[in-house]
């Protein structure tokens, strides 16, 4: 059903121009993603997976085609409207965390709320709740340099969920972590998917990370070459009802 779709891409193409040469990145891509799906994007360098993530998140614009998220065609929005939409509807998780080093964990988590009509007290309460959800209660006054890499990524995830977005996009969220910390972050993403019913789109090169997703897309040479549903039973650490 259309109402169940979180993301719909229709004949999407993306290309860049370098020194008068047109460089295609995505070609004629069609994709439907249902609400609450956990989607992993894989492919070799240059396959277009990060570009696809950025189009879905409203960080980049398609050259042609339609990118529809929660019923809204992002290609029709102005830059100002797109900025406002991202602030209200998308949570971002990056490989390098992108935390501000001179701000505490709580202050970093509060940042997205500065774009919303929220009082200082509510910002603090929501930030503390987000930090509690990711297992960092008691660490709110720590600066990034006082945290491990895994804890920094947890702060980044808290920042991504503090506005309660419907969509979470993650670009190599475990790429800079040791295996133990990576598994902890993947378990947290799995919880956001299964318990909080978030729609998650994740770019990864790690098969173990991709195995956490409910669906795996593989891109190569600007095109979607594989689209596989993955059984919850087969995914490590999954919650099975």
Instruction: Report the CATH number at residue 197.
Output: 3.40.50.300
Report how far residue 84's alpha carbon sits from residue 89's, in angstroms, rounded to the nearest whole number.
9
Among 1-10, 22-31, 109-118, 197-206, whose mean pLDDT is lowest?
A: 1-10
- Element housing 185 (H / E): helix 179-194
The answer to whether position 89 is within a domain reads yes
Instruction: Identify the pLDDT of residue 233.
Output: 36
CB-based contact 209:174 (threshold 8 Å): yes
The answer to whether position 206 is within a domain reads yes
With a CB cutoff of 8 Å and minimum separation 6, the contacts of 241 are none
The answer to whether position 20 is within a domain reads no
Predicted TM-score (pTM) of this structure: 0.89
The answer to whether position 145 is within a domain reads yes
| 199-219: pLDDT as tens digits | 999 999 999 999 999 999 999
Token pair, residue 108, equals 């970093």
Domain total in the chain? 1
The answer to whether position 30 is within a domain reads no
Supply the range of the domain harboring residue 153.
36-62+77-234
The answer to whether position 13 is within a domain reads no
The answer to whether position 95 is within a domain reads yes
Q: What is the DSSP letter of 79?
A: H
Q: Quick check: 181 pLDDT over 90?
A: yes
The answer to whether position 71 is within a domain reads no
């Amino acid at each position: 059903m259309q109402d169940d779709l979180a993301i719909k891409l229709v004949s999407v193409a993306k290309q860049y121009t370098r020194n008068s040469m047109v460089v295609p990145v995505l070609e004629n891509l069609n994709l439907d993603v249902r609400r609450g799906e956990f989607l992993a994007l894989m492919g070799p360098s240059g396959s277009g997976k990060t570009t696809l993530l950025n189009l879905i998140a409203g960080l980049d614009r398609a050259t042609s085609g339609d990118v529809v998220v929660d019923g809204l065609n992002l290609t029709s929005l102005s830059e100002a409207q797109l900025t406002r939409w991202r602030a209200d509807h998308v949570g971002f998780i990056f490989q390098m965390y992108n935390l501000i080093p001179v701000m505490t964990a709580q202050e970093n988590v509060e940042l997205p709320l500065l774009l919303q009509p929220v009082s200082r007290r509510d910002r603090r309460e929501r930030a503390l709740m987000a930090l509690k959800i990711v297992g960092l209660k008691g660490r709110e006054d720590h600066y990034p340099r006082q945290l491990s890499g895994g804890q920094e990524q947890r702060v980044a995830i808290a920042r991504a969920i503090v506005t309660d977005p419907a969509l979470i996009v993650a670009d190599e969220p475990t790429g800079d972590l040791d295996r133990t910390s990576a598994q902890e972050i993947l378990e947290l993403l799995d919880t956001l998917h299964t318990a909080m019913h978030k729609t998650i789109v994740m770019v990864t090169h790690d098969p173990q990370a991709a195995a956490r997703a409910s669906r795996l897309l593989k891109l190569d040479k600007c095109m979607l070459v594989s689209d596989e549903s993955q059984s919850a039973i087969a995914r490590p650490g999954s919650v099975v009802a």
